[in-house]
Chains A and B, each alone.
With several copies, the nearest count.
Chain A
């Protein structure tokens, strides 16, 4: 039931929400998380961010994360979209949507999806700084701790 996509193109949360819920009257609750590019990182101004990924493994891990969410909460569908390539500050990066009859299931599943996506899907961010140079974003312990609240993705 999950829709999982990796794409360079932008997405629209309104269109994705309609695609998830359109024509259905059994849902009731949609929780979502939308991540966008910030123009500041560690006190340095960012002019762009490039998302690299591992084609093949990315889709597999995203599908597994979605299936895990569907096993843990009574979901009627979920959507995971992650952009790749070069993005500018303010642009969309990632969207998760979780639909359920129950609002806490929808919100908790959205939190789970983004926490695991950040720690178990093979994406890497490279930042371009306004004062010159580039740098790969380092994984944060807080992301690991956040994901670990939900248990651990196999092997990650």
Chain B
């Protein structure tokens, strides 16, 4: 039973692996952090699992601010997953 939706964004090779650039999902009960959200999203499809690999190589932003795995996520948030940045 969801508590409200959050917007998920994927960039660069994560976007290619997951196969979508953006999706709205209902945030389930018990998912309150970036790390828990990432684990839960991995279960949505094999492509999600391939994109949202665990480990150091994935970065996250909550509401357009860099966020570590312990950062809180709440309904209405915008959460992005992406590789380490390589601009400049």
A residues sitting closer than 8 Å to B (CB atoms) are 35, 51-54, 56-57, 60-61, 82, 93-94, 114, 117-126, 136-139, 143, 153-156
Considering the complex, which residues of chain B in the window 36-73 have a beta carbon less than 8 Å from any beta carbon of chain A?
A: 59, 61, 64-68
B residues sitting closer than 8 Å to A (CB atoms) are 9, 11-13, 59, 61, 64-68, 80, 82-88
Note all chain A residues with C-beta closer than 8 A to B80: 54, 57, 122
> Which 10 pairs from chain A and chain B are nearest by CB?
A123-B87, A155-B66, A118-B88, A139-B84, A57-B64, A124-B12, A137-B86, A117-B88, A136-B13, A156-B66
Least distance between A6 CB and chain B CB atoms (Å): 10
Least distance between B66 CB and chain A CB atoms (Å): 3
A56 to B61, CA, bound (A): 12
Q: Which of A54, A56, A117, A122 has the most CB of B within 10 A?
A: A122
CB–CB A94/B87 < 8 A: yes
Note all chain B residues with C-beta closer than 8 A to A126: 12
Least distance between B87 CB and chain A CB atoms (Å): 2
